Each structure stands twice: as C-alpha cells, then as structure tokens.
A = this chain, B = another copy of it.
C-alpha cells in the first residue's frame, strides 16, 4: 500500500509577511479537526489570539471543507507558528493569507487521496445560509453513488439532485439547477438540452466542477471530494 505519496507544501506571500505550510493526510479524511496533520508558519508579527482566530477562519474554509470518504479521523491537527520577524499585518490580510495557504494544502491532500482518480469541486449556491450550503455540498461530495459516477465519468445529475433533496436542508425541486464544468444539465429540476460532448470532455478531466444552485437564498459553500474507484478498495480492504 502506498499512501501520502507526495509532499504537500505551500508558500503565500503577504504584504510584508509570508505564510508557509506543509501537510500530510490521504484517507480517513473528512477533517473536523480530527489523521490529518498540517503545520503553517509565518513571520507575521501577531499576538496569539489574532493568530488563533485567523487560523479558525482559514480552517473552516479549507481543511473542514474537504472529504475523501466521510470518515472523520480521531486526531486531525493544524498548527500555526509565528516568528514575529515580519511586519504586523491587518487581521483581514493575515486571515486571507492563512486561508489561501490552508486551501492549497487541503486541495493537495484531496488530489493525493488514497485510490482517487478525480478531484470533485462541489459548489452549492442559492442556499438559505452558508451553513445549509455546506451541509448540502458535503452530502453530494460524500455520496458513494455520486463518487462512483465520477469514477465512471457519467454525468448522472439525478443522483446529485437526490442528495441535495435528502440533505435535510431547505430544498425545492422546481428551483434546482446543476451544471458540470459550467454546462447546465438540469434547470428548474428538469433535464435541459445541452452540449453532451462538452460535458463528456469535462468529466474526463482530473478536476470536475459540479455547480448546484438551490434557488432559495444567498448561502454558498464549496466542498472538495474525490471519486470512488477500485483504488480506494485496494488501499483499504486490509491494513497490511
């Protein structure tokens, strides 16, 4: 078994300060700050409270928005260390740089996920809240049926709509739209004529964009996931 096959590193240049990061993690990966390990460093001159708050915001939009198998580990860890040798950034500038660093590391983890051949970028828009959008996007990304269809490069949007409808968040089938790689395949809950060759070409890519619009409000979220193919089973059927 081979896992965690590539180094995952990032550097983000702020104005007068820099954020660096490194991470490990390839399965049992649905972080809720539980086997994921990431360390960020910065030379920004910041106090501990500001640094902690900035990290919390960054983690919510990065590590806590990825899922490989829906299996939350027991010991995810993200650390940030600040030397104070650089400038003192604004809180927003620090948070933005940390978020960019964490997002990059999170995406590198998903791209190296055990047995995966695809990275799915699931965006839900038009939800009643950002929280509802996150729950719905995670339901789609965690769906074994959606994951299998990504492995098979089969644009079966009915599975996506089913997951959105059973996510437990507000849903109106008559308002739902789904697009693969920007090509709308479903609008108002119904199939629409579309460029099938364009969709097929997009599904063959390593990165697949799934955009869902619930048509209910302004909430939105992005969750990164993977496909489910023979590789995941080969990695996880035994521990040896």
Contacts and interface: CB of A to CB of B under 8 A. Distances in A.
- Counting every copy of the chain, the complex holds 2
A32 B145 CA distance: 17
A188 interface: no
A233 B151 contact: yes
Interface string A210-232: 00000000000000000011101
Nearest to A173: B74
Interface residues of A, number: 34
Contacts of A27: 145
A154 B238 contact: yes
Interface of A (DSSP majority class): loop
A132 B108 CA distance: 36
Interface stretch (A50-58, A81-89, A158-166): A158-166
Nearest to A155: B239
A73 interface: yes
A144 B71 contact: yes
Contacts of A74: 162, 165-166
A233 B71 contact: no
A70 B228 CA distance: 14
Contact of A69 (B144, B151, B236): B144
Interface string A130-164: 00000000000011110011011010100100110
B239 A154 contact: yes
A232 B148 contact: yes
A48 B63 CA distance: 52
A236 B163 CA distance: 15
Interface string A58-81: 000000000001111110000000
A23 B26 CA distance: 40
A37 interface: no
A179 interface: no
A28 interface: yes
A184 interface: no
Interface of A: 27-28, 32, 34, 69-74, 142-145, 148-149, 151-152, 154, 156, 159, 162-163, 165-166, 228-230, 232-233, 236-239
